[in-house]
Amino acid sequence: MGIFQKITALFIKKQKIEKEITALQKSCKHSKKSVKQVRDRLDSSIPVIRWVCDECSKITGYPSDKDKQRFFKE
């Protein structure tokens, strides 16, 4: 298998995995959330503070200034 075919196969696997993650996150109830430091986008290297589901790791919202202060005190 050449490099091009291997890369193409990996991109196809990545796409399938991303679809599966999206489906799991849609079905999650997001019942337990925490304020965490995460990347807002996959191509971003700058971390941001967001509410994140503890079960599926989906970003669920923006914390208030008070939530951010509590996060930085921990």
Q: Has residue 42 got a pLDDT over 80?
A: no
Tokens of residue 37, six digits: 């430091």
The predicted model scores a pTM of: 0.80
Q: Give the full edge-to-edge strand order of the sheet including 47-53.
A: 33-39, 47-53, 59-61
Domain edges within the chain: 3-73
Tokens of residue 21, six digits: 């993650």
Q: Has residue 58 got a pLDDT over 80?
A: yes
Under the banding of pLDDT at 50, 70 and 90, the label for residue 8 is: very high
First-last CA distance in the chain: 50
